[in-house]
Chains A and B, each alone.
Chain A
Amino acid sequence: MKALQRKLLRDLLLSRGTGLAVIAVVACGLATFVGSTTAARALQRTQASWYAASRFPHAFARLRRAPDPVTMRLAALPGVAEVESRILAEALVELPGRLDPATALLGSAPPRGTPRLGELHVRRGRLLAPGRTGEVLVNEAFADANALRPGDPMAVLVNGRRLTLRVSGIVLSPEHVMALRPGAVVNDDRHYGILWTDRQSLAAAMDLTGAFNAVTLRLAPGAREARVLEEVDHVLAPYGGLGSYGREQQTSHRLVSDEITQMRAMAASLPPILLGVAAFLLSVVLSRMVTLQRPQIATLKALGYSDLAVGLHFGGFAVVLALAGAAVGVLGGWWMGAQLSDTYARYYRFPAMLYVLSPEPMVLATALALAAALLGAGGAVRRSVRLHPAEALQPAAPPDHRPTAVERLGLGRMLSPAGRMLMRDMGRRPWRTALSALGIAAAMATQMLGLASAGAARSLVQHQFERVAREDLDITFTQAVRDEAVRGLRALPGVLHAEPYRSVPVRLRAGHQSYLAGLVGLEPAGRLRRVVDERCRVVPIPERGLMLSRYLAERLRLTAGDRVLVEVLDGKRPVRELKVAATVDDLLGVQVVASRSAVDELLGESRLATGALLTAHPVQVGAIQARLLWAPRVAGVGLRQASRTAVVDMLEESLVWFTRVLTVLAAVMVVGVVYNAARLAMAERERELATLRVLGFTRREVWGVLAAEIATQLVLALGPAWLLGRAFIAIFAAVVASETLRLPQAVPAATLLDAALVASLAAAAVLLVAWRWLARLDLVSALKARE
């Protein structure tokens, strides 16, 4: 090994504390980058490969009823490559020995045993036997949650008819990577399943022999989706078309795609912050080193080492740390990616997660680390290159100190000499002081983001289930019923209160944008279902016009006061232009709400309900549900408690994990920055601190000077931390925002305090270590040292 390399190695060993801090911060940044990138790639690859293998449809549509030959007309449409019709039905599932009822989406499978578009993947058992009836395929999540095996019996109730079936296979479907009940935001696999049985039996039960009520399509390459969807709607309208939609509005596809987007956003947002902090740490360490080693640099140059060789030597210091950080980070990233993929594998039902360690993220990560190293080291390296040997042999000129602004204001007298020393030092290097405070602020802000998302998750649940949806049971009917029927529900034992609502499928159109939604008509005076914005204010339902979730309004580029075209996809299918009366910052799902009278007017009907909200005596909720489920005209019964549990579970699993990662990252950053600041203050002040000691200051008093500097930086960091934290939270909320959920952006001041507390604890730990440095301070040699 060359002597210069040996020097590099020893310099690295000598500054191992700060070196480790840099490595840790770089590693955290890159682990996040590699982990989220590989997870996103794994998810995307898995999705793409299964879509290709299973011939996942590009478009979907449901309708009331169309005779089979209509599929030919759809197939003949320009841009349509393939069409497959099917029958879909909401079904009640009876499992032996089960008291709490489950519901399912029951689909038809063609004689070959699996749909052609979106082929099923058999996990256990087999597909439906051609030509045989009485068999059923069950999605794996439902089978797992209910311990179903091939051969198990079950009964389903569709359209008031009971089918006795036997499980032939446990399958996966690309259409239901996650099985969500319509309108639900999270899966509840125990109570909601996806089933397939032979078309003949299902058609008979649904009175759809020779007809269908749903289609899937694959588009020809280059076809314009929006155009095709419009044509499909046109063909299906006379048959009660409920609107066609592309993959983007297909629930399962959207969930996975949202996750991919979020992972990519995470890869793009957190690592730069961490690498920025690492670059700052490196710049401080190296510039200190170059200052300290002035005579050595001069000697090297006097010996005949070129400027380039000297520059490379100091640059090498940064590069070695960056590469070490990259190595740890890449390994950590692999681990993190594998963990994430495992989580995905539990959540999303794919035949197999394709988690591949591809080289690109590793290469990119290493390049990022090197870029951060160069960014951080650039200034110091440039100084080492430019340092003129003759000049470097002179002792450095004493730094130019002058009274700070505070002192000029006459406040200096309030400070002790040590305090003034501190203030002038920080004032002399305002950039470094500012950057150091900014580093601590970035750490606190990251911590705030973690705390805020955990808090948001909790308040989201509270918000949704205590302010918005306050019913115990949500009953949906198979068809619209008169309000009197809802009133009849009040007579059931245990029911305390009942409110009807009207829901109808609509397509909203504004400009080129369109959206398929359920318009819900609510009683403005209703107590059970209210519209509440993210600040917990109840927004009154306007008598006329629509109220939209702001998320949806923005998607359709609408604001309050605009007009929107509403195409009703049911009954007489009226098409009207309505005013957007208000938009609301809500958190879960997307809503299109109007008063019941406005809906009545739109539909040209009076007081018809498609659902009812009930409150009931807690002990009787189960009994009421069981009784209603089997009642004629009841399509489904939702329990608030069950949905609440499911939402809490989902948030726990996803957000809590995220919060933990953020807490670790924040702690690493705080410790890194604070340790570095303390180490530096110690190194630069060694002489001053020794002088103070010689003058008769106690070790505690000298330690106080050091502690005061760190404390000052923490205090300086509070303002920027608050701003940065709010910005991080806003950015994160924007990234996470999806049709499923939005996080509240309001940031309680307590998050800043909590983050500051964590930072203070980290600082206190570092200062305890500093106490030991002071104990080792060699007064005589510190004073003799030549600077």
Chain B
Amino acid sequence: MPSPGRGLSAIASPPLDAAPAFEAIGVTRIYRMGEVDVPALRGVDLRIWDGELVVILGPSGSGKSTLLHILGGLDVPTAGAVRYRDHDLAGQDERRLTTYRREHVGFVFQFYNLVPSLTARENVALACEIASRPLSPEEALERVGLADHLDHFPSQLSGGEQQRVAIARAIAKRPDVLLCDEPTGALDAATGRIVLGVLDRVNRELGSTVLIITHNAAIGALGDRVVRIADGRVAGERRNPVRAAPAEVSW
């Protein structure tokens, strides 16, 4: 089924003269593992504009998760500059990063990271309670197609359903940015497509900027842009003339 907004994607892509939402310049991140330094990022330059859906593609160990963590304010670079609008994300103190995450960012993880002792509705409420103008948990779950699973505990949901709860939890805050780390990594292809469809809809309907990190090249077709990361560096970038519909993606 073709996506209703498909033709709009080219128009939705930002004018090149607009200021980017994210701007990373020379971002380097080195982890110290015992007695050796392990560089995860070695000077990444990247710009992302509001409303874009960007797929960051790379093999495991390429540093893409580290990049996502830095963009999401979960981690800070060892060197280089990162900015989100007027927030400096490099070298900020933890309190201001928390505020940044609270106000602007939604996360979706490969392993869902739901709180097993809370129901779907309560997991989403966790996010609603600290946001300033959230969706209601019911509405957020409705958007991911789980309106009839409100009171299920994570253990009573399938993997795809759990991931959709995680997405509902992420979008309930109406985040400006949705950062997704291998959102389909633990799912089979059919379930994965449903989850990608939800992310695509969030991007179009709520206007959130969406970043999807994956090692799955097929998913690249879904984005406005595809950024390839290898060995801690940006190895290439391409703009899709037309965004593929999630249902068309196969792997």
Are both chains from one complex? yes
Query: Is A626 close to B, CB under 8 A?
Result: no
A298 touches B117 (CB 8 A): no
Chain B residues 54 to 92 lying within 8 A of chain A, measured CB to CB, are 65-66, 69, 72, 74-75
Query: Is A98 close to B, CB under 8 A?
Result: no
B115 touches A390 (CB 8 A): no
Chain A residues 285 to 313 lying within 8 A of chain B, measured CB to CB, are 295-296, 298-307
Contacts of B66 in A (CB 8 A): 390
A304 touches B122 (CB 8 A): no
Question: Chain B interface (Cβ within 8 Å of chain A)?
Answer: 65-66, 69, 72, 74-75, 94-95, 98-99, 101-103, 105, 107, 109, 111, 113-115, 117-118, 122-123, 125-127, 129-131, 169, 173, 181
Partner of A3, one of B69, B99, B113, B126: B126
Query: Is A4 close to B, CB under 8 A?
Result: yes
A629 to B109, CA, bound (A): 96
B107 touches A299 (CB 8 A): yes
A3 touches B122 (CB 8 A): yes
Query: Is A248 close to B, CB under 8 A?
Result: no
Contacts of A298 in B (CB 8 A): 74, 113
A3 touches B74 (CB 8 A): no
B98 touches A393 (CB 8 A): no
Query: Is A11 close to B, CB under 8 A?
Result: yes
Contacts of A304 in B (CB 8 A): 98-99, 101-103, 105, 127, 130-131, 173
A70 to B65, CA, bound (A): 101
Contacts of A3 in B (CB 8 A): 118, 122-123, 125-126, 129
A307 touches B129 (CB 8 A): no
- 7 additional contacts (CB under 8 A) given A3-B122, A299-B115, A303-B107: A3-B125, A7-B117, A302-B101, A302-B107, A305-B102, A305-B130, A307-B98
Contacts of A296 in B (CB 8 A): 113, 115
Partner of A306, one of B98, B115, B129: B98
Contacts of B95 in A (CB 8 A): 306
B69 touches A7 (CB 8 A): no
Contacts of A390 in B (CB 8 A): 66, 69, 74-75
Contacts of A7 in B (CB 8 A): 115, 117-118, 122, 126
Which B-chain residue is minimally distant from A302 (CB atoms)?
B107
Query: Is A640 close to B, CB under 8 A?
Result: no
Query: Is A389 close to B, CB under 8 A?
Result: yes
Query: Is A388 close to B, CB under 8 A?
Result: yes
A10 to B127, CA, bound (A): 18
A295 touches B111 (CB 8 A): yes
A-B contact count (CB 8 A): 84
B118 touches A303 (CB 8 A): no
Partner of B126, one of A11, A303, A388: A303
Instruction: Give the total of A residues in contact with B, Cβ under 8 Å.
Output: 25
Contacts of B131 in A (CB 8 A): 304
B102 touches A303 (CB 8 A): yes
A307 touches B94 (CB 8 A): yes
Chain A residues 5 to 64 lying within 8 A of chain B, measured CB to CB, are 6-7, 10-11, 14
Contacts of B111 in A (CB 8 A): 295, 786
A296 to B111, CA, bound (A): 11
- Of all A-B residue pairs in the complex, the 9 with the closest CB atoms, nearest first, are A304-B102, A10-B117, A390-B75, A299-B113, A3-B125, A390-B69, A3-B126, A390-B74, A389-B74
10 chain-A/chain-B pairs, Cβ below 8 angstroms: A3-B118, A7-B117, A298-B74, A298-B113, A300-B126, A301-B98, A303-B127, A307-B98, A390-B74, A393-B74
Contacts of B130 in A (CB 8 A): 303-305
Query: Is A572 close to B, CB under 8 A?
Result: no
B98 touches A6 (CB 8 A): no
Contacts of A303 in B (CB 8 A): 101-102, 107, 126-127, 130, 169, 173
Query: Is A776 close to B, CB under 8 A?
Result: no
Query: Is A2 close to B, CB under 8 A?
Result: yes
Contacts of B117 in A (CB 8 A): 6-7, 10-11, 14
Contacts of B126 in A (CB 8 A): 3-4, 7, 300, 303
Q: Distance in Å from the Cβ of A358 to the closest Cβ of chain B?
A: 40
Which A-chain residue is minimally distant from B126 (CB atoms)?
A3
B107 touches A6 (CB 8 A): no
Which B-chain residue is minimally distant from A12 (CB atoms)?
B117
A305 to B131, CA, bound (A): 10
A298 to B111, CA, bound (A): 12
Q: Distance in Å from the Cβ of A778 to the closest Cβ of chain B?
A: 12
A726 to B114, CA, bound (A): 51
A389 to B123, CA, bound (A): 18
Q: Distance in Å from the Cβ of A273 to the closest Cβ of chain B?
A: 33
Q: A301-B74, A306-B95 are in contact. Are A6 and B102 (CB under 8 A)?
A: no
A2 touches B69 (CB 8 A): no
A393 to B182, CA, bound (A): 13
Q: Distance in Å from the Cβ of A783 to the closest Cβ of chain B?
A: 16
Contacts of A786 in B (CB 8 A): 111
Contacts of B122 in A (CB 8 A): 3, 6-7
Q: Distance in Å from the Cβ of A12 to the closest Cβ of chain B?
A: 10
Most buried by A among B65, B127, B173: B127
Partner of B118, one of A6, A295, A302, A305: A6
Q: Distance in Å from the Cβ of A531 to the closest Cβ of chain B?
A: 69
A302 touches B103 (CB 8 A): no
Q: Distance in Å from the Cβ of B71 to the closest Cβ of chain A?
A: 11
Which A-chain residue is minimally distant from B95 (CB atoms)?
A306
A11 to B115, CA, bound (A): 10
A303 to B169, CA, bound (A): 9
Contacts of A301 in B (CB 8 A): 74, 98, 101
Question: What string of 1s and 0s marks CB contacts (under 8 Å) between A301-343 and chain B?
Answer: 1111111000000000000000000000000000000000000
